[in-house]
Chains A and B, each alone.
Chain A
Amino acid sequence: VAQALSLGAGSCPLSGNDDSGSERGPLEPPSGPDSLGNSLEFHATLRRHRMSLATIRTVARLGNELRERTERAGRELAALVEAGSGRQIGTILGGETTSADIELHLDAMRPDRPYVHLHTHPTSSSFSDLDASILLTHAPLRAIVAIGRDGTWYVLSKSPGRRPASPARGMLAYREALYALLPKYQRLVQSGQLDDAAAWRQHTHEAWEQFAPALGLRYDRFEGR
C-alpha cells in the first residue's frame, strides 16, 4: 500500500513554462544532481527529453531527495512532475523495498498534459520492463526517470513525432535483448570480472541502449557519484 510522505503538492514554487524549450532569461547553471558533478551535461540531456527548465529543476531536486530518502529508508519512492510547468503533482509515494503503488499519480494525470514520473531503484539497475510498460500504457506520461541508490540516473522518454510501441511489443523487445545478452554477462560473472549486481546494472543498460530507438523511445544514463 502506498504511503504518502511529507512533500506535498505544489511544494516547488517554480514558475510555469511551456515545454517547448523556449524559456528566456539569464542562463544560470541548473540545479542538477549534486552527485553527478556536471549539471550542465545533465541539463542538456534532459532538454533532449523535451523537459522545460522548470521541469529539469524540479526533477533534479526531487530525484536527489528521493535517492537520499531511499538510501536512508531502504525502500522505493516515487514522484510525479507536470512536464510543462515543472510543478510537482501530488505527494511522494513510498512503497516496499522494491515496489511502490503509483496509482494515485496515474489517476492525477490529465489526459491533455504531459508528465514525468520519477522513482528510485534501490538496486541501481536500469529500467525494468514494468517501468517501460507503465510509460507505454499511460499516454500522458512523456518520460520516466529512475534514480539508483548509487546515484546513477536513467531517463526514458517518448520520441517526438513517432508513435511509441505498444506495451506488449516493448516487453518482447526488452526480454529478447536481455536473453540475447545473457551469455555475455554470465561469462563475466562466472569469470569473476563482475559480481551479479554490477553485471545486472550493465546488462540492463546495454539492453536499453540497443532497442529503445526501435520502440520510439529515447534512453540516457548518467553515471552517479
Chain B
Amino acid sequence: MAEGRRWPSPQEVLDKARRGVLDDRMAAVPPYDLDPDEILSAEEAAELDRLIAEEEQQQRP
C-alpha cells in the first residue's frame, strides 16, 4: 500500500483476491475523514475500466 494511504488500491485488492488473502483493513478504517480519492481516484477508475475491457475481450469467442 502506498505510504500514507490507509485503503489498499484496487489493484492491490485484486492481487490479494487471487492469492487468497482476506484483509479487512478497509473495514477497520471508515472513510469519513479520508481523502475520497482513496475510495476511487479518477486514475484508478480508468485502470479498472482498462482491466474490464481486457477481461471482456478475453471472454469473446
Give the distance in Å from the alpha carbon of A175 to the alpha carbon of B37 in the complex: 10
List the A side residues contacting B51 at CB < 8 Å.
166, 168
- For chain B, the count of residues having a C-beta within 8 Å of the partner chain is 31
Within 8 A of A (CB), among B34-52: 36, 39-40, 44-45, 48-49, 51-52
Decide: A99 and B39 in contact? CB cutoff 8 A.
Answer: no
CB < 8 Å: which of A121, A137, A196 contacts B24? A121
Assess whether A9 is interfacial by the CB under 8 Å rule: no
List the A side residues contacting B39 at CB < 8 Å.
175, 178-179, 182
List the A side residues contacting B36 at CB < 8 Å.
179, 182
Decide: B22 and A131 in contact? CB cutoff 8 A.
Answer: yes
CB < 8 Å: which of A97, A106, A168, A179 contacts B14? A168
CB < 8 Å: which of B23, B31, B55 contacts A166? B55
Query: Closest Cβ of chain A: how far from B54's Cβ, in Å?
Result: 8
List the B side residues contacting A200 at CB < 8 Å.
27, 30-32
Query: Closest Cβ of chain B: how far from A7's Cβ, in Å?
Result: 18
**Which residue of chain B lies nearest to A197 when distances are taken between CB atoms in the complex?**
B30
Query: Closest Cβ of chain B: how far from A213's Cβ, in Å?
Result: 18
Decide: A171 and B10 in contact? CB cutoff 8 A.
Answer: yes
Give the distance in Å from the alpha carbon of A169 to the alpha carbon of B55 in the complex: 9
Query: Closest Cβ of chain B: how far from A5's Cβ, in Å?
Result: 15
**Which residue of chain B lies nearest to A104 when distances are taken between CB atoms in the complex?**
B20
- For chain A, the count of residues having a C-beta within 8 Å of the partner chain is 48
Decide: B32 and A199 in contact? CB cutoff 8 A.
Answer: yes
Total CB contacts across the A-B interface at under 8 A: 127
Within 8 A of B (CB), among A72-109: 76, 78, 95, 97-103, 105-107
List the A side residues contacting B45 at CB < 8 Å.
172, 175-176
Apart from the given pairs A98-B23, A172-B48, 8 other A-B contacts in the complex at a CB distance below 8 Å: A98-B27, A103-B20, A125-B24, A130-B16, A130-B26, A138-B20, A186-B32, A200-B30
A and B contact pairs by CB, cutoff 8 A, 22 listed: A76-B24, A98-B23, A98-B25, A99-B22, A101-B20, A101-B21, A102-B21, A119-B22, A122-B28, A129-B13, A130-B13, A130-B21, A136-B17, A138-B20, A168-B52, A172-B10, A172-B52, A175-B10, A176-B40, A178-B39, A200-B32, A203-B30
- Please report B residues at the A interface, Cβ cutoff 8 Å: 8, 10, 13-14, 16-28, 30-32, 36, 39-40, 44-45, 48-49, 51-52, 55-56
- Please report A residues at the B interface, Cβ cutoff 8 Å: 76, 78, 95, 97-103, 105-107, 119, 121-123, 125, 128-131, 133-134, 136-138, 166-169, 171-172, 175-176, 178-179, 182, 185-186, 189-190, 196-197, 199-200, 203-204
